[in-house]
Amino acid sequence: MSRGEVEVWRPIVRRNAGAEQLLSTALFVFAAGFALMALHAFIVNDWETSSVFAICTAGACLFGSALRIILLRHPIPAGRSGLLALVAFYTVGPLIIAVPLAELIPKFSMIDAYFEMSAALTTTGASNILDIEDVPQTIVLWRSACAGLGGFVCLVAALSIFAPLSIGGFEVRDVMDREGASSGGSLAVEALIERREAMERTTWAVRMLAIPYGGAIVLCMLALAAVGAPAFEALCYAFGAVSTTGFRVNAGGIAAYNSWAIELVLICAIVPAAIGVAVHQQALRGRLRAYLEDPECRYMLIAVGAVVTLLFMRHWIGAIETRSTDELGAGISALWGSLFMAFSYITTSGFESADWDGATAWSGLRTPGVALLGLAIVGGGAASTAGGVKLIRAALLAKHSLNELARLTRPTEVRPIRSGKYRITQSAMRIVFVFVMLYVLAVVGSSLALTATGMGMIDALIASVSVLSNTGPLLPMISDNLNAYVELSDGAKLVLCVGMIVGRMETLAVVALLSPRTWRK
């Protein structure tokens, strides 16, 4: 090029493929979803909804293309591209997919729509829609599909982003995997992933998870339809069950069906969804004993069994006082309601059983929501769609506490902490303590921010736990107010949106993103 000649076009030199491909791919996925929803609305003769989704399809395609061109010319270094892409997905993504809700739902502001779709992508399931029956059917399907996408992104991020950084539960799993590498029972992601760029890691995770995840949704939908759920609602609830998102798609939710068969199908969907990908991977290879050998599966059964026993005994004692123990059917219904709710909240799904209120009526005692609050905080397994602290962390923290209590009487005794056949190192326990401390600080900070918006302290605390554990239905259930989120101010909803994102990404990932080492070239 001669001096004074202007360079009109410079070829793009492709360097590390990271955030530019991840973000543009996400936008093209949104565009494909918009197009499918436009087609659905066209089929059901909802012309207004179809036109809105068609416009959103074109906008998402243009935005995705422009973003790809810009970021390819100014790429983000690979060391931080994965986390930044995930942050952008959870912060900007809901803003894009919320446009149809703001346009089509009466008296629904953009903040309301952003809150609703943040709850979908983070699989929180908190809803501020006043009457679901008045919402266009395509919008209900779109929200459920986005929740399903959010669950899938959660699994992909766990393997392609969190695993190399040893966060998201992998800080403990990584130690266990390295110590048990000779047994062949580990996920063994670190050696495979560390040498790959962000897009390669993501592609590998997508290829590994797409068919099992999609197959689980289809199987759940068919099973729900077979036991009596309407086809459309079966599809929406299948998205919610596999992604552990407790959205209601009908007026009464799951309880409106009053069917043990439907609730049993949901248990068979939400429990596997809350178990780590590594365990399913081993089972698909023929090692079904992996479910019995996995510590988190045992911890889940122990936690559910303890809570159900306590709840049932409490109601049984109340029934003795009211002389209603001879009502065998009511007692069995109360037991089933407690069992379903325990599984629902430890998986952070938040579906409500038709027999939950019956347990209270049987004994005359109000069922304590604090038990379900505790299960939601504990959450599901690492590398699953469930939220919460994660079972492995909660169990190790409990074991360490018991060891410290034992040392009060025997100060010189050395009692190692074990998870199954693996011994947990002190470095892993330190990370667990750091995570729990950050989680508590996040709950306190979110609660104080909510009280600043005019919310009561108790409701603020419950709402903070709800969003940080990604169990949105927790607040309406404990407060006994289905419109608990509807009545919040715009400021409170934005605070809760931040809580959803932090809860889904986990506090350690947020700290890793803010760490100077992450930004060092």
Q: What is the pLDDT of residues 392-426, one digit of tens each?
A: 888 888 888 888 787 777 777 777 777 666 677 77
Residue 318 DSSP SS3: helix
The region of weakest confidence among 16-20, 375-379, 388-392 is 16-20
Whole-angstrom Cα Rg for the chain: 24
- Tell me the H-state helices in 251-294: 260-273, 277-284, 290-293
Alpha helices in 227-351 (DSSP H): 231-242, 260-273, 277-284, 290-293, 295-321, 328-346
Burial class (CB in 10 A: 0-12, 13-18, 19+), 497: buried
What does the alpha-carbon distance between residue 192 and residue 213 come to, in Å, rounded to a whole number? 22
- Quick one: how far is CA 261 from the chain centroid? 25
Cα dist. 414→407, 432, 472 in Å? 8, 20, 42
- CB atoms near residue 40 (< 10 Å): 18
For the chain, percent of residues with pLDDT exceeding 70: 80
Decide: 78 and 198 in contact? Cβ < 8 Å: yes
Q: What is the pLDDT of residues 428-464, one digit of tens each?
A: 788 888 888 889 999 999 999 999 999 989 999 999 9
The SS3 call for residue 460 is helix
Helix, strand, or coil (residue 330): helix
Of 517, 215, 362, which is closest to residue 223 (Cα–Cα)?
Answer: 215
List, for residues 252-285, the tens digit of each pLDDT value. 899 999 899 999 999 999 999 999 888 888 888 8
Alpha carbons 161 and 159: distance in angstroms, whole number: 6
- The pLDDT, as a whole number, for residue 88 is 86
Instruction: Name the burial class of residue 7, with classes exposed (0-12), middle (13-18) and buried (19+) by CB atoms within 10 angstroms of its CB.
Output: exposed
Which residue carries 């912060």 as its tokens? 91
CA 424 to chain centre: 26
Distance (Å, whole) CA 280 – CA 291? 8
Residue 349: pLDDT band (50, 70, 90) is very high
Task: Provide the token pair at 202.
Answer: 């993501």
The DSSP secondary-structure symbol of 250 reads S
Place of tokens 């304590």: 368
pLDDT band at 328 (very low <50, low <70, confident <90, very high): low
Between CA 226 and CA 242 the distance in angstroms is 17
